[in-house]
Amino acid sequence: EPVMSFDHVSKHYRGGTVAVEDFHLDIADGEFVSIVGPSGCGKSTLLKLIMGLEPLTGGRIEYRAQARKESAMTGMVFQQPLLLPWNTVLDNVLVPSTLQGRAQRRRDEGRARELLDMLGLTDFAGSHPYELSGGMQQRVGIARALLHDPRILLMDEPFGALDAMTRDQLTLDLLEIWERDRKTVVFITHSISEAVLLSDRVVVMTPRPGRVGDVVDITLPRP
């Protein structure tokens, strides 16, 4: 049974732009799916629909709710890590808990430290974001997204703002994390090479002049 299903999903913006048309996709538990396509093909729109930031104009998105009781539905990693500069790395990871009060923060501190260990940031728990490289800052963003053990990790061009070397390293790190955790990941990117390296499946959105493109679904073998 899929964790998330897109059933004939469409999004037409006011003014008539057809951003997403008849999009169909089932995402299985533990799958790493990349959604790839050039600028303007509707990737950000799709993400906004998943997050509930924009209403659909057609179809449905269904989430299977047999999630473990404690876990959140989605965790989000943005193109910019959006860290609070005056907070330590540990406090940045704990932001989602802090918003739920001091008691929750205390309960989650152990988990936050575990995630920092997993991401190679143990020695930086007390540092501030400006002391970290871009790649390390993005790792803090990933730790924060994983804090409440979301059913699905959504990543929107998470390496978009990084230089090529950092990008390659973080791609490998992400693969390692995924192999340990087998979390369901939806990874949005315009980079086909990143998509192919990381994914079980690549969904290609191909825009055509004057209309929305076809959606090509490619299943990749994993070594």
Contacts to ligand ADP by CB under 6 A: 13, 15, 17, 19, 37, 39-45
Least distance to ligand ADP, CB of residue 217, Å: 17
Note whether 163 and 130 are within 8 A (CB): no
d(CA 71, CA 63): 14
For ligand ADP, which is the closer residue by CB, 4 or 35?
A: 35
Smallest distance from ligand ADP to CB 167, Å? 17
Q: CB under 8 Å to 22, separation ≥6 — which residues?
A: 8, 9, 10, 58, 59
Least distance from C-beta 197 to ligand ADP, angstroms? 20
Locate 43 and state its tokens: 């990737």
Distance, CA of 190 to CA of 187 (rounded, Å): 10
User: Which CB, 10 or 88, lies closer to ligand ADP?
Assistant: 10
Q: What DSSP state is assigned to residue 3?
A: S
The DSSP string of 65-129 is ----TT--SEEEE-SS----TTS-HHHHHTHHHHTT-HHHHHHHHHHHHHHHHHTT-GGGTTS-G
Cβ nearer to ligand ADP, comparing 34 with 97 = 34
CB nearer to ligand ADP: pick between 63 and 78: 78
Q: Which of residues 39 and 66 has its CB atom nearest to ligand ADP in the complex?
A: 39
Q: How far is the CB of 212 from ligand ADP (least distance, A)?
A: 9
Joined tokens for residue 36: 């790839």
Q: What is the chain's alpha carbon radius of gyration, rounded to the nearest angstrom? A: 18
Q: Residue 49 or residue 83: which is nearer to ligand ADP going by CB?
A: 49
CB of 43 to ligand ADP, least distance (A): 3
Q: Which two tokens stand for residue 176?
A: 């390692």
- Smallest gap from Cβ 24 to ligand ADP, in A, equals 17
